[in-house]
Structure 1
Amino acid sequence: MVSDGPLKAYDADFHIHIGRALGKPVKIAAGASLTLENLLHHAAYVKGLDVVTVIDGVCDNVLLEVERLVDEGQLTPVAGGGLLFRDRLLVLLGAEVELSGPTGGAAHFGCWFPDVLRAKDFNGWLKTVQKNTQLSSQRAYTDAVALAAQTHERDGLFIVHHAFTPFKGLLGNCVRQVGDFLDIHQVDALELGLSSDSSMADRLSELSELTFVTNSDAHGVKTIAREYNRVRMQGLNFAEVAKVLHREAGRGIEANYGLHPQQGKYYRTRCRVCDELVAGNGACRCATDKHHVYGVKDRLDDISDLVEPAHPAHRPEYVHHVPLCDIPGVGPTAYRKLLEAYGTELAIRRTADESTLTDVVGERLGIVIARALRGEFTWEAGGAGTYGKIIF
């Protein structure tokens, strides 16, 4: 389809949590320093993002803080939907909602909204199906069809969150096919999660028409943009983001940037007690599977209908990368020097080379960072909640 105007590239992280709002908890597992204002500042000025979804933006106290920032002029409503933070960062308001699986387990879904009014209206509906709308990721006593319908009735976007994880992943611990949980045509995009990539997900043929998104699911400011999307659209507003997910009028995702799946903390099946990786249905040193956490790779080997991935023509490149703070030797001093030299973390990824890096942080660390940026490393695989380790 022909574009209706010039398109530009933007960097987007569509899944960032809030730790506290108005001094009260929002996402229990998130850090207290991850307030709305810290999130916005860090995303814009430290990470270098252009678009974020505040996935707890529909929670009671977060909505109040959003309205305060609008009144103060720090957030400005945008034609086409969304809010602009200090004229540089598009902010979308979302909710992460937990639903029971049809035969057990539970799954998380993202619901994004174009403005404060519709976010507040959705909050009002949530109060009829949730016990506590002050907190994020709470169980809703409804079904996925109804949740998607309520989202779309408010012109929102409905996303499957971290689809393959063993905890709260639709395909990781609930069902073997999306169609066993809801109508796949109600889904606007599917989030891969930290322990999978496009090659793993494209072994499931039912997902071929869906857009894949790669987001940080950040629970602290440091992990914002550990996974993100390079998107192609005409400008910064909600309507353009919707066109990206639906691949309309030339819009779309140019590249998914994400951790190597082996760095993910649920990549392989692992025992939580003895920390041993478990192949197939094998036993660990504990001689029991009672404490095993089913790995994403092993789960996909079980449920996939394709031996090899079949990438549809619309699927963009998946770029494996290592977050800057995960590179061995990058401590607070080196991190500060790098930001002073390049401006933001994403600028480092786009423009840094070995020569300039060694000028900033010295030869030894500069070479290590350059090798990490080029992907010259292997992994000790993660599992059971333990992240994988980089091996040079």
Structure 2
Amino acid sequence: MAVSGAMHPKNLLSVSVTKGLHVLGTGDALHPAWQKEWEPFLSNEAGICVVPTGEVEDEHRVHHLILAEDFGQFTQLRELLKSHSKSISTNGRPHVYLSGEEIAKRAHEVGALVGPAHAFTPWTALFAYHDSVASCYNSEKIDFVELGLSADTSYGAGIPDFAGVPFLSNSDAHSPQPEKIGREFNRIRLNGPLSVRCVLDSIRANAIEANAGFFPEEGKYNRTACIRCFTQYSREEAQQHNWRCPADGALIKKGVYDRAGELSRGTPGSRPPYLHLVPLGQIIQTVEGVSSPGTKKCRAIYDAFIVTFGNEIDILVTVPVSEIRAVHPKVASAIEALRENRVTLHPGGGGKYGTFSLIP
């Protein structure tokens, strides 16, 4: 549901190569038909390591991300959860009538890793309904925290409950377009050849070398705002208005920025660097002044970059600006501004994505 009809393993692997990813989560691994679609592609010519992943919604609507070594563990987990869910075999992200603690226990029972998905999002997330990890998971351990599009590591570094817990910057994709796949990614130090087990062991050991993704302000729930007209408010103003927009009476939704501020205490702990990136297609769209990264003009420029340099992440992070300039001077100037943090951000909120402009 709610995804492009082109969301098939072959397309996902192809765009992962274009993007420069080496590890890809399957998503929806509890769904038996989706498991079958993936099985022929677990070993693939692209050399992409495919990690079975799934998301579950608990009885309080909190979403939990689960990572496993193989689909067999998800099959076992489906058996443990099926008596508590009406949609375990029909919905990619099933609703399960259990608490976060009970779901985490069952995930650990089959040997999987589990943690809160998009932990700060004001809908269906840990801190939308709980003020602490223990309130959701009780004494059951979480193996990681997924930050979500509206947060970076600075949002969680000052939260005591997250001390020593790995941060993952992932983003789920609803279409196999390069500006949607790998909007957020992790650089993980492996202690052996690339494999699913090695990836999961590195997450357990908190061997995250860097996180990368959107500027948090680009997320659609970054700031506190009305969910209808998107007018933004300070936390104090929202409280004064009893969380109802004075302009149209709609709900004012607390943003990730304010929610993280409420939960942070003391000096933030040390975390790996966070690379703030904008998808290459979005950069091309911006400098060319067109309506979408999917226009014929944008795609032609994007393809020229991939043919020349191999993959998008290298272009954004490591390829010298002088070499990028030889392909497209305006894109090179934009990437240079991005690397030097010469960016003006216009934060999103209330369900509307934020925007950015690059400073020459």
With normalisation by structure 1, the TM-score equals 0.81
Distance 1:184 1:366 in 2: 50
Counterpart of 1:165 (choices 118, 121, 132) is 121
Instruction: Provide closer, same or farther for how the CA distance between residues 127 and 185 of structure 1 changes in structure 2, counting only shifts above 3 A.
Output: closer
C-alpha displacement of 1:379: 0.3
Q: Equivalent residue for 2:310? A: 343
C-alpha displacement of 1:342: 0.9
C-alpha displacement of 1:378: 1.4
Output aligned runs, 1:289-328, within 5 Å: 290-306=250-266, 309-312=267-270, 315-327=271-283, 328=286
C-alpha displacement of 1:161: 0.5
Instruction: Provide closer, same or farther for how the CA distance between residues 60 and 376 of structure 1 changes in structure 2, counting only shifts above 3 A.
Output: same
Match status 1:384 vs 2:350? yes
C-alpha displacement of 1:183: 3.3
Match status 1:51 vs 2:23? yes
Larger mean CA deviation between 286-295 and 351-360 belongs to: 286-295
Distance 1:359 1:184 in 2: 56
Distance 1:143 1:230 in 2: 31
Q: Equivalent residue for 2:174? A: 219
Q: Equivalent residue for 1:255? A: 210
Counterpart of 1:353 (choices 311, 320, 328) is 320
Runs of 4 or more, structure 1, over 4 Å off, are none
Name the SS for the 2:287 alignment partner. coil
Q: Equivalent residue for 1:186? A: 141
Q: Equivalent residue for 1:286? A: 246
Q: Equivalent residue for 1:37? A: 10
Distance 2:139 2:352 in 1: 32
Q: Equivalent residue for 1:210? A: 165
Distance 1:180 1:122 in 2: 23
C-alpha displacement of 1:305: 3.0
With normalisation by structure 2, the TM-score equals 0.88
Counterpart of 1:231 (choices 188, 198, 213) is 188
- Between structures 1 and 2, the one with greater helix share: 2
Larger mean CA deviation between 220-229 and 29-38 belongs to: 29-38
C-alpha displacement of 1:200: 1.4
Percent identity of paired positions between Structure 1 and Structure 2? 28
Instruction: Calculate the aligned-residue CA RMSD, in Å.
Output: 2.0
Larger mean CA deviation between 321-330 and 57-66 belongs to: 321-330
C-alpha displacement of 1:201: 0.8
Q: Equivalent residue for 1:134? A: 90
Match for 1:125: what amino acid?
Answer: L
Residues 235 and 254 in structure 2, CA contact (< 8 A), matched pair in contact too: no
Q: Equivalent residue for 1:115? A: 70
Residues 108 and 170 in structure 1, CA contact (< 8 A), matched pair in contact too: yes
C-alpha displacement of 1:391: 1.7
Deviations 1:153-195 (A, max 9, x none): 2111112100000111101x11011111113652110001111
Name the SS for the 1:186 alignment partner. coil
Residues 60 and 123 in structure 1, CA contact (< 8 A), matched pair in contact too: no
Output aligned runs, 1:86-101, within 5 Å: 86=45, 88-101=47-60
Match for 1:232: what amino acid?
Answer: R
Output aligned runs, 1:259-274, within 5 Å: 259-274=214-229
Instruction: Provide closer, same or farther for how the CA distance between residues 180 and 379 of structure 1 changes in structure 2, counting only shifts above 3 A.
Output: same
Deviations 1:92-116 (A, max 9, x none): 1122100133xxxx21111122123
Distance 2:247 2:330 in 1: 44
Residues 178 and 184 in structure 1, CA contact (< 8 A), matched pair in contact too: no
C-alpha displacement of 1:373: 3.7
Name the SS for the 1:235 alignment partner. coil
Deviations 1:121-166 (A, max 9, x none): 2233332222122212221011222211211121111121000001
Deviations 1:306-332 (A, max 9, x none): 3xx4214xx211121112122213622
Gaps of 5+ in 1: 1-27, 77-84
Distance 1:184 1:255 in 2: 28
Distance 2:133 2:309 in 1: 42
Match for 1:383: what amino acid?
Answer: G
Counterpart of 1:153 (choices 87, 105, 109) is 109
C-alpha displacement of 1:281: 3.5
Residues 199 and 311 in structure 1, CA contact (< 8 A), matched pair in contact too: no
Deviations 1:30-80 (A, max 9, x none): 22222222112211x21111111112122121012123x1xxxx433xxxx
C-alpha displacement of 1:338: 1.1
Match for 1:239: what amino acid?
Answer: R
C-alpha displacement of 1:364: 2.7
Match status 1:334 vs 2:301? yes
Instruction: Provide closer, same or farther for how the CA distance between residues 129 and 37 of structure 1 changes in structure 2, counting only shifts above 3 A.
Output: farther
